[in-house]
Amino acid sequence: MKIIKVKVVVEKEITYDICESLLENYDSERELAELIVDDLGLVSGGIEFDAKYFSVDGERVTGSVIEIYQEGEYDMYGGPYTPKMSKPIVRVNGQDIFDRVRDAFNDYGWGSDMIDISRTDIWGYVI
């Protein structure tokens, strides 16, 4: 039996606009955008991340189309105050997958009232 190793390079075309005030733990907008892209498997689309909302839409490496949106107080972390977040919209090929995202946050130890959809490192694997 022969084993063939193939390295596949996927070209990505992603636009992003990320509010500078949200980069406290990152060196640049690009660094944060690349993490989100990797977590979600994006190959094309856009990311918008402001102090009041997080939005991603695009195509994944699998060919599926994702739509993600949540309003919230993304600039209010860091104190005894729990930021208010709306229920996120998370769709893959038009199908709502919120329940799977909520389960991922519960597994992580965050309650349903603490879902911050911008934390793609917590839930990105479910899609």
Q: What is the pLDDT of residues 89-102, one digit of tens each?
A: 999 999 999 999 99
* Tokens 């989100």, located at residue: 36
Confidence (pTM): 0.85
pLDDT digits (tens, 9 = 90+) for 73-82: 887 766 666 7
pLDDT digits (tens, 9 = 90+) for 10-41: 678 899 999 988 888 889 999 999 999 999 99
- Consecutive H or E run containing 19: none
| Distance in angstroms (rounded) separating the CA atoms of residues 94 and 96 | 7
Encode burial over 77-94: b for 16+ CB neighbours within 10 A, e otherwise: eeeeeeeebeebebbbee
